[in-house]
Amino acid sequence: MNVEITCTSIGELSSLEIKFSIPKGSHELTIVIEHPLLVLFRSWAERKASDEASDEASDAWESLSQHSCFVESEELRSDRGLECKQPATSNQPQLSFLELVDERDWNQFSDLLQQVDEGLTFFPPELCEEGVNGTYFMKDKTGKRIAVFKPQDEEGNSKNNPKQESQTSDLNNKRIPTGEGVKREVSAYLLDKEAFYSVPRTTLVNVTHSGFRSDAAVEVKTPVKKTGSLQEYVENDGASWDIGSTAFPVQEVHKIGILDLQILNNDRHGGNILFRKEGNSLKLIPIDHGFSFPHGLDRAWFEWLHWPQAKQPFSAESLDYIHRIDIERDASMLTAKLGMNAETLRPMKISTTLLKKGAASGLTLHEIAQMVCREDVNQPSVLEQIFETASEEVKKESNGSWSPEEEERQLLNVLSRLMDEKIVERIHQKYRDQKYP
Ligand SMILES: Nc1ncnc2c1ncn2[C@@H]1O[C@H](COP(=O)(O)OP(=O)(O)OP(=O)(O)O)[C@@H](O)[C@H]1O
Ligand SMILES: [Mg+2]
C-alpha cells in the first residue's frame, strides 16, 4: 500500500491531504482524505474563479471563516478591502489576542497594542452603552480604559450588531456600506499627519477573544476573531453637547470644522466631539469617523455649523494648513494603505476642493459649510447643485465619446469652475449684506 501525504498551503491557509493507494487485483484503489478546510476553500475559490459571486459562494465563505483554525489569507483579506500589506514575517512579536492588519504600523502602535493585549488576559472587551454600533472599551492590566475597538462585523445593520434597536436606515448603509466604517476611522487618523486635528491614534487590528457580544447581545463563549479599528482612548471631561459651546476656543472649533469638511463627515453630532480641560483652556478631540467619506454629498451636517466661532475668520495657521492639503496625494495614500476606491474618495475630493477654494477666497468656516449642508432637508445643498450641473454638462459634452477617466477629469474641472463662480457670488452677497445690513 502506498501512502502519500501532501501538505498544501494557499496563502496562510494550510491543509493536509492524505492519499492511500491500495492494490486491488489488477486495479489500484485510491482513497483521498482531505482536511475539510481545503474542501471549503476550493469550493469557494472555484465558484469565484467561474465568476459566480453567488450566495453559495458566500455560504462557503461564511462556513470557512467560522472555522476555529481558519487564518484569513492575504488574497481573501484584500478581496474584502482589508489588505494585509506584508506577509507575516515582520518584526511584530506574537501577541496573545491581537494582531495588526498592516504590520508596518508596529512601531507606531507597539506600546498601545502590548498594553491592550496584556489587559485582555484580565478584562474582556467592555461593550460601550452609548452609540449605535458594537463599540468596546479595551483596558490595560489595571482595568483602566486605554483603547476603543470597533469590530467591522458589528456595524450598522449587520446581524452581529449588539444594538439591534438602533439599526441605521438602508439609505445610510448605501452611503457608507456596512462593514466599511472601520476603514474610515483609520482614514481620518491617517489624514491627520501633522496632528493638527487631534484625531486619536487609530489602526486596524484583528482581536481574538471570547468576550464579544453578538447576535443581539447574546454573549459568545468561544473565542472569535474580529477585524476592526483600534483607537487610543482619550482622557476627557465629557462631550461637547454636555456644556455650552461658547467656552470652546475658536481655533479648536476651526480644526474640527476643517477636518469635517475634508472628510465630509456625516456624523458630527455633539457626542462625537470630546473635550478636555487643559489649564484655563479647553481642547477638543474629534472621534467617531465611521460615517465620513460617504458615497454622496447629500447628508453632510455639522454640530458646529451655527456656533459663533465658525463665523470668525480663519487664523493664519489654519489658512496655511488648508493651503497645504494635497488632495491627490491624500487620495493616493488612502488607496495604497486601505484600498479606498475612487467612488469613496470622490465626494471627499469635491468637498476638500471647496474648502481650499473658499478659505483662499476669504470665506469663513460657516460660509463654506453652508454651501455643503442642506438648509432645508428636502432641498439640495449648493454643493449638490453644483455637482448636478457639472455632471449634466460633462455628460452632454462627452456624449458617450470620452473614457471614464477623461469624464472624471472633466467633471472635476467643471466642478472647480462652478465652485469659483459660486464663491464669487457669495463674496458679492457678503459685501452687499455688510453695506446694506
Ligand atoms: N477615542 C476615544 N476616547 C475616549 N472615549 C471614546 C473614544 N471613542 C469613543 N469613545 C466613547 O465611546 C462612545 C461611543 O463611541 P462612538 O461614538 O465612536 O461609537 P458609535 O457607536 O459609532 O456612536 P454614534 O452613535 O455616534 O454613531 C463615545 O460617545 C465616547 O463616549
Ligand atoms: Mg458616536
Measured from CB, residues less than 6 Å from any atom of ligand 1 are 128, 130-133, 135, 148, 200, 231, 233-234, 236, 267, 271-272, 287-288, 290
- In ligand 1, the atom with minimum distance to the C-alpha of 269 is 26
In a domain, 76, yes or no: no
C-alpha 261 – ligand 1 centre gap (Å): 20
Shared domain check, 143 and 174:
yes
d(CA 48, CA 100): 27
Nearest ligand to the CA of 286 is 1
Q: The whole model's pTM is what?
A: 0.79
Instruction: Give the residue whose CA is nearest to atom 16 of ligand 1.
Output: 288
Phi and psi, residue 168, nearest 5° = -90, 165
Mean pLDDT of the chain: 83
For 160-212, the pLDDT digits (tens) are: 888 766 656 555 666 788 889 999 999 999 999 999 999 999 999 999 998 88
In a domain, 121, yes or no: yes
Average pLDDT in the 270-280 region?
96
CA dihedral in degrees (200, 205, 211, 214; nearest 10)?
90
Shared domain check, 262 and 192:
no
C-alpha 150 – ligand 1 centre gap (Å): 9
Cell of 240: 461637547
What's the domain range around 367? Answer: 235-437
- In ligand 1, the atom with minimum distance to the C-alpha of 236 is 4
Residue-level pLDDT at 302: 97
Cell of 272: 462625537
The answer to whether 406 and 398 have CB atoms below 8 angstroms apart is yes
d(CA 297, CA 258): 16
One-letter amino acid for residue 167 of the chain: Q
Shared domain check, 145 and 258:
no
- Is the pLDDT assigned to residue 62 strictly greater than 50? no
Cell of 271: 457626542
Average pLDDT in the 328-346 region?
95
C-alpha 288 – ligand 2 centre gap (Å): 5
Shared domain check, 293 and 418:
yes
Q: How many domains would you assign to the chain?
A: 3
Among 109, 127, 128, the mutation site with the greatest number of ligand 1 atoms within 8 A of its Cβ is: 128
- Is the pLDDT assigned to residue 16 strictly greater than 90? no
- In ligand 1, the atom with minimum distance to the C-alpha of 166 is 25
Shared domain check, 412 and 264:
yes
Contacts of 414 (CB under 8 A, 6+ apart): 389, 390, 393, 394
The answer to whether 253 and 215 have CB atoms below 8 angstroms apart is no
Residue-level pLDDT at 393: 96
Radius of gyration for the chain, computed over Cα atoms and rounded to the nearest angstrom: 26
Work out the pLDDT band at 392, boundaries 50, 70, 90: very high
Cell of 106: 508596529
Of 243, 176, 30, the C-alpha closest to 168 is: 176
Residue-level pLDDT at 214: 57
Residue-level pLDDT at 212: 85
Shared domain check, 273 and 228:
no
